[in-house]
Amino acid sequence: MRVLKETLKYPSPQSPPSPSQVTTSSSRTDTVNGSHEFKISGYTLSKGIGIGKYIASDTFVVGGHLWAIYFYPDGKSAEDNSTYVSLFIALASEGTDVRALFELSLLDQSGKARHKVHSHFGRALESGPYTLKYRGSMGYKRFLKRTALETSDYLKDDCLLVQCTVGVVKSQTEGPKIYSISPPPSDIGQHFGQLLESAEGTDINLEVDGENFPAHKLVLAARSPVFRAQLYGPMRDHDTRWIKVEEIEAPVFKALLHFIYWDALPDMQELAGLSSKWASALMAQHLLAAADRYGLERLRSLCEAKLCEDVAINTVATTLALAEQHHCLQLKSVCLKFVALPENLKAVMQTDGFEYLKESCPSVITELLQCIARISEHSVVSSGYGSEAALDGGDVIGRRVKARVY
């Protein structure tokens, strides 16, 4: 009998592997930086407020978080016996812990740019950036000796300038892009705007204060829930080819139509027929009320933002009344803070708008008084609270930080 042996062949170790797809991604960690300048007037009067008590800046936003600068005229630590001034940066917003770098500077006001700087930017950190919790702070108990400060160019006309830069640490992971397409910006507003200007295909006339405005019912209904109900709802008008609009001025309604078609604010001064900020603010006030009436939330927000930018002595009282009547909380807050400032209060109270505010919104006067009290208290002193990292020549974990003078 003959036995046949079959030899099995295995691939040799030197055989190349079968092709496979390799994907890649990358992670980048960087800082989102922002700066705030804090002017401290009346330094001499702030001395003697007490060790551990500070003067706080207004809050500012960096990296999506609120921050504030704390200046301690008598120092933060009792053991230093008011020998040093202290300077800290505090996390003022709630939420998750925040990793950040910071730089605190006392600005030279002589023009020589020899600023007193404590910085964590541009140097190696053994343990990485600092982690702060809500109301946590980091800074320097011994930022500068008071005797040195009071004979330096950092103090001018009894005023100090403090600058703080915060770098919030952010990480982002990205994969490869296999295309490079840049779509042009949307031009649908331009197309609808041209439709309004040409009056082509209009099927409704709106009479406002004796002036006619041709428009398209479908466009009005698509943009405004009020027009939708008026034109197509169960309680719609009998004749929807012509509607008389009451309690609104023609220039304001023209601006409203401009937004409905163009999705953008018109030139306020051109519509008002005057080239002043006062006229622009007055038009924005009327347009905000019209936006609220017709349920145009985006227009309402745009007008609110514009009025926040254009707050002025002669219009702030009527703007504040408008904000109260139409529940514009951010605009109301901006107006209250503006009126409550000592340099603005007397002038605002002498305007006709303030008399209107007292008559139409008496409850706002109570809120204004509370705001004045808070500003007065805040500008003088508040007691420190929360966790902090005290850096008296060293940082939170004992690493030495040498002050730089530029």
* 108-148 residue pLDDT tens: 999 888 998 888 887 766 667 888 888 788 888 999 999 99
The whole-number pLDDT of residue 404 equals 39
- 321: tokens are 């009344």
Structure confidence by residue, pLDDT tens digits, 295-335: 999 999 999 999 999 999 999 999 999 999 999 999 999 99
In DSSP terms, which residues pair with 110 in a beta bridge?
none
**Helices and strands of the chain, counted as H and E runs:** 14, 16
The whole-number pLDDT of residue 386 equals 45
286 and 306 Cβ atoms separated by less than 8 Å: no
284 and 301 Cβ atoms separated by less than 8 Å: no
Q: Cβ of 257: how many Cβ atoms within 10 Å?
A: 21
116 and 105 Cβ atoms separated by less than 8 Å: yes
Q: How confident is the model at residue 22 (pLDDT cuts 50, 70, 90)?
A: confident
Structure confidence by residue, pLDDT tens digits, 269-297: 777 666 677 888 999 999 999 999 999 99
Residue range 70-86: mean pLDDT, rounded: 93
The whole-number pLDDT of residue 175 equals 80
- Name the average pLDDT for the chain: 85
**Comparison of pLDDT for 192 and 173, the residue scoring more:** 192
From residue 299, give the alpha-carbon distance in Å to each of 76, 144, 187, 269, 328: 48, 50, 18, 17, 13
Q: How many residues does the chain have?
A: 406
Provide the whole-model pTM: 0.55
Q: How confident is the model at residue 220 (pLDDT cuts 50, 70, 90)?
A: very high
164 and 38 Cβ atoms separated by less than 8 Å: yes
DSSP 397: T
Q: Cβ of 296: how many Cβ atoms within 10 Å?
A: 23
Q: Is the pLDDT of residue 226 over 80?
A: yes
Q: Is the pLDDT of residue 400 over 70?
A: no
Q: Is the pLDDT of residue 353 over 90?
A: yes
Q: Is the pLDDT of residue 41 over 60?
A: yes
